[in-house]
Structure 1
Amino acid sequence: MTIDTTAANFTELGLISPLLARLTELEYLEATPIQAQAIPNILAGRDLIAGANTGSGKTAAFALPILQQLSLYSATNKKAASKAGEGNYVSGLVLVPTRELAKQVADSIKSYAVHFNGAIKTVAVFGGVSVNTQMLALRGGTDILVATPGRLLDLISNNAIKLDKVKTLVLDEADRMLSLGFTEELSSLLALLPAKKQTLLFSATFPEQVKALTEELLNDPIEIQLQSADSSTLVQRAFTVNKGQKTALLAHLIKLHQWQQALIFVNAKNSCNHLADKLAKRGITAEVFHGDKGQGARTRVLDAFKAGEIQVLIATDIAARGLDIDKLPVVINFDLPRSPSDYMHRIGRSGRAGEVGLALSIIDHEDYHHFNVIEKKNKLRLEREQVPGFETVEFVKDVFSAADKPIAKPEGTGKKKKNKKPQINADIWLGNA
């Protein structure tokens, strides 16, 4: 079922005064479309499948109504649970795929809850840091727990927390949470949850194979689909370059436009360091962000990048989901993502919350076919552009003759058709988008 709600501001969504006061302080003047549609339905207790572009306000869309629901439970209920030996309770559980997203979501929830004066407890748990510190934080239970699956299972095995009192389950970045990489862990956690609960799925993309799995998780859900590959605030462009010239073109773009921040995606941990070294030889200092870095180092690098202290950050796809980097001007695909859906998650780091953003993909001969697949899956078609000084005449000729040539028919089966090759304007340039 798809429902349309057109509330223009938060006062029309049924939120209570402590939340409205905080939203005013944060200068959230109008609800985004996903918030306007999700909040009333969550408050009504409905299960939900919500798909919307990155940067559209999905965290507030589930955090605000959950905080309101929890505020209705009195302190006496908590005392009763504690006396019954249920002090390690969780009321609202938010599962996320990465450590950084766990911290970010928990920080957002705490910010929204300021005017509840500490009555609602929120804890984030994730790997890479001491489990003992997190166990101490969970003493007496918590109202909202934001967790990565692996660390949550560790805490459960140590009797630090139980899930049998969970009233609301949120899968943030649900497509990733329901993918093969998390199947075993997620299945183990779902088995520990009560059968009667509210389940909310939020993501920027919902591939068909994921949609099939949702039927087993939700009860008569409301479905909200607001994804669009065409965002008015995010400009997407694709630049062709000869093989071996990607780094030179990247350095040229960074120097030419003097971006104060640039997030560059590659596909492997060692590629981060390799590209950083190559950029350093061209006079550009870059930091790296990948899974082999310790959690403390990852946090410091990300905080410094968000603060504008780092100009260029080279990252794997652990930075592609959910991270909110204020007014990030440009995201660059140096390597194309393996999954077409990850393309949308990557580029969504820029152009968030109505800000103007730019997403560039640098593609050589070997990338061309895969970029076609990415476009097809995401219903895109970007003009192939060339940068003066990095023209790819032979590359263009070879690629289009291979990509657009129809399969040859046996002689005598019909007339031969001429291939009409797309024209690439070598004068098209980046401008000041």
Structure 2
Amino acid sequence: MQEGLDAMGFENPTPIQEKAIPVILENKDLIACAQTGTGKTAAFILPVLNKISKSGSEKLNTLVLAPTRELAIQIDQQIQGFSYFLGISSIPIYGGGDGIVWEQQKKALETGAEIVVATPGRLIALLAGGKMDLSSLQHLILDEADRMMDMGFSDDILKIVNYLPKDRQTILFSATMPSKIRQFSMKILKQPEEISIALGKTAEGVSQSMYSVYDTQKEELVKHILSQKAFEAVIIFASTKEKVKGLYKALRKHFDVEAFHSDLEQVDREKIMSAFKNKAVKILIGTDIISRGIDVVGIELVINFDTPSDPEDYVHRVGRTARADKEGEAITFVNPKDQQKFARIEKLIGMSITQNPLPEGFEKGPEYNGDSFKSNRKFDKTSKPTFKKKSGQKKKFPPRQKSNQESAQDKSPSGQKVESAKTKEHSGAKPPQEKTNKGKFGNRRNVIDP
């Protein structure tokens, strides 16, 4: 075990490893919560490998459940590294592949392994087909449990638990601890120990800043930031796969960039991720599918092209950089509609994020009113339009047309024109409108343009 740790460059345990490993070695059930990038995988794999190596058993010992195929593959790779000198084997089981992958997974199970790392959906399919014998299982580990709950896997996990021996150790790791996780844990854990490490906090090595921008300024701002130095590893997060495709199209002529989204075939996603880890691709654009469980050391910069809707998603995105005590930078673009979201992020992480001035040559962006949101005062007219009603009069809004477009103006009973909500929101110069990504490129699937 020590030889494997030395070969992988491990010297000192992280806080979650230091607290979790002794509990797991004592065979107690555990609920552990720590922010992303703190070494949770090693915290549960190392003590399990230690116990397997001492037992000498070659039967299936441990089942690790993960929410995504990318995380399952990553955990399996880490197990291979830790167990290189132990002779302990693991098998990744996940969906998304073709019939050949399915047959390979079934044959691997028949050959046997001490550890299986699986996504819930594919594992249920194998269990239903009678392809797995779980009678010797001693450990059930749920990694990124909060993510599995968000993806609707709670019923699948309970079905899987029904196949497992009741006399086992159950370990649940999560980056957040909402009430639904605690309620769920009561169904599958027995008197668990609890460990929590710095919930809702970003890593100390991350330099965080933001730009207050209109949507149509974002692409040029990304190009400006990326052109400032020769970055070796950058992740850009967008809110939808359509935006990922559009941004890829805008950047590919100028930078070494790839797009990572759910429309890609599994084999293409694996190739792209491998190229990014090996620094063959410098810039990766994706949705929150890559905000969790993708362990790439040395990411210098994270750009939130869109402000994440959930403050905790911000912590996961930012956690892609400054891993393993490294330093990194995170930049977030905030448009007027997302100012309230960004204020909630600042409240969660307990700090005000530095606002950068737009570079020379850019038109002035919107004013950021985050303080008003954080103090729970009413929104001003630049952030949310309000309508005042004269006494004795009822304000009538313009009827909605079949074209699904509203009239820009409406006349009051006195004949005066009243500004529409969109006009009132941006008094003076009208900001540029966000471009939509339609047409041939937006409709293509399973393709990355050459």
> TM-score, normalised to structure 1's length?
0.81
Q: Is the 8 A contact 1:279 1:286 kept in 2?
A: yes
1:278 aligns with 2:260: no
1:58 aligns with 2:58: no
In 1, Cα distance between the equivalents of 2:187 and 2:82?
31
Residues 266-316 of structure 1 show CA distances to partners (whole Å, capped at 9, x for unaligned) of 1222221111112236x2342111111111111110111111111211011
1:23 aligns with 2:5: yes
Tell me: CA distance 1:401–1:102, structure 2 relative to 1, closer, same or farther (3 Å).
closer
1:97 aligns with 2:79: no
- Structure 1 residues 188-227: aligned runs within 5 Å: 188-227=159-198
Cα drift, residue 204 of structure 1? 2.2
In structure 2, the residue matched to 1:67 is 49
In 1, Cα distance between the equivalents of 2:265 and 2:321?
26
In structure 1, the residue matched to 2:426 is none
1:248 aligns with 2:220: yes
Q: Is the 8 A contact 2:233 2:298 kept in 1?
A: no
In structure 2, the residue matched to 1:112 is 82
In structure 1, the residue matched to 2:17 is 35
Residues 29-70 of structure 1 show CA distances to partners (whole Å, capped at 9, x for unaligned) of 111111111111100001111122222111111111101111
Tell me which amino acid in the other structure corresponds to 1:73. S
1:160 aligns with 2:128: no
2:132 alignment partner, SS class: coil
Q: Is the 8 A contact 1:163 1:193 kept in 2?
A: yes
- Structure 1 residues 337-352: aligned runs within 5 Å: 337-352=308-323
In 2, Cα distance between the equivalents of 1:49 and 1:402?
34
- Structure 1 residues 171-186: aligned runs within 5 Å: 171-179=142-150, 181-186=152-157
Tell me which amino acid in the other structure corresponds to 1:167. Q
1:48 aligns with 2:20: no
> TM-score, normalised to structure 2's length?
0.78
1:375 aligns with 2:346: yes
- Structure 1 residues 344-363: aligned runs within 5 Å: 344-363=315-334
Residues 132-177 of structure 1 show CA distances to partners (whole Å, capped at 9, x for unaligned) of 1100011143210000111111111222213343211111111112
In 1, Cα distance between the equivalents of 2:111 and 2:143?
25
Q: Is the 8 A contact 1:238 1:384 kept in 2?
A: yes
Cα drift, residue 224 of structure 1? 1.3
Cα drift, residue 395 of structure 1? 1.5
In structure 1, the residue matched to 2:306 is 335
Q: Work out the percentage of aligned pairs sharing the same amino acid.
A: 35
Tell me: CA distance 1:140–1:286, structure 2 relative to 1, closer, same or farther (3 Å).
closer
1:341 alignment partner, SS class: helix
- The gaps in structure 2 that reach 5 residues or longer are 380-387, 389-450
Residues 210-234 of structure 1 show CA distances to partners (whole Å, capped at 9, x for unaligned) of 2332232222222111125142211
Q: Is the 8 A contact 1:365 1:399 kept in 2?
A: no
Tell me: CA distance 1:192–1:377, structure 2 relative to 1, closer, same or farther (3 Å).
farther
In structure 1, the residue matched to 2:102 is 131
Q: Is the 8 A contact 1:341 1:378 kept in 2?
A: no
Q: Is the 8 A contact 1:235 1:359 kept in 2?
A: yes
Instruction: Name which of structure 1's ranges 265-274 and 38-47 shifts more when overlaid on structure 2.
Output: 265-274
Q: Is the 8 A contact 1:90 1:161 kept in 2?
A: no
Q: Which runs of 4+ in 1 moved over 6 A?
A: 397-405
Tell me which amino acid in the other structure corresponds to 1:97. P
Q: Is the 8 A contact 1:386 1:392 kept in 2?
A: no
Tell me: CA distance 1:107–1:401, structure 2 relative to 1, closer, same or farther (3 Å).
closer
Tell me: CA distance 1:244–1:138, structure 2 relative to 1, closer, same or farther (3 Å).
same
Q: Is the 8 A contact 2:358 2:364 kept in 1?
A: no
Tell me: CA distance 1:256–1:65, structure 2 relative to 1, closer, same or farther (3 Å).
same
Tell me: CA distance 1:144–1:368, structure 2 relative to 1, closer, same or farther (3 Å).
same
- The gaps in structure 1 that reach 5 residues or longer are 1-18, 79-88, 411-433
RMSD of aligned C-alpha atoms? 2.3
1:264 aligns with 2:246: no
Q: Is the 8 A contact 2:339 2:368 kept in 1?
A: no
Tell me which amino acid in the other structure corresponds to 2:66. V
The structure 1 residue matched to 2:293, chosen from 322, 341, 353, is 322
Cα drift, residue 348 of structure 1? 0.8
Instruction: Name which of structure 1's ranges 164-173 and 394-403 shifts more when overlaid on structure 2.
Output: 394-403
The structure 2 residue matched to 1:150, chosen from 121, 132, 135, is 121
- Larger Rg, first or second structure (1 or 2): 2
In structure 1, the residue matched to 2:394 is none
1:150 alignment partner, SS class: helix
Tell me which amino acid in the other structure corresponds to 1:92. T
In 1, Cα distance between the equivalents of 2:284 and 2:244?
9
In 2, Cα distance between the equivalents of 1:30 and 1:400?
40
Q: Is the 8 A contact 1:350 1:358 kept in 2?
A: yes
In 1, Cα distance between the equivalents of 2:220 and 2:374?
26
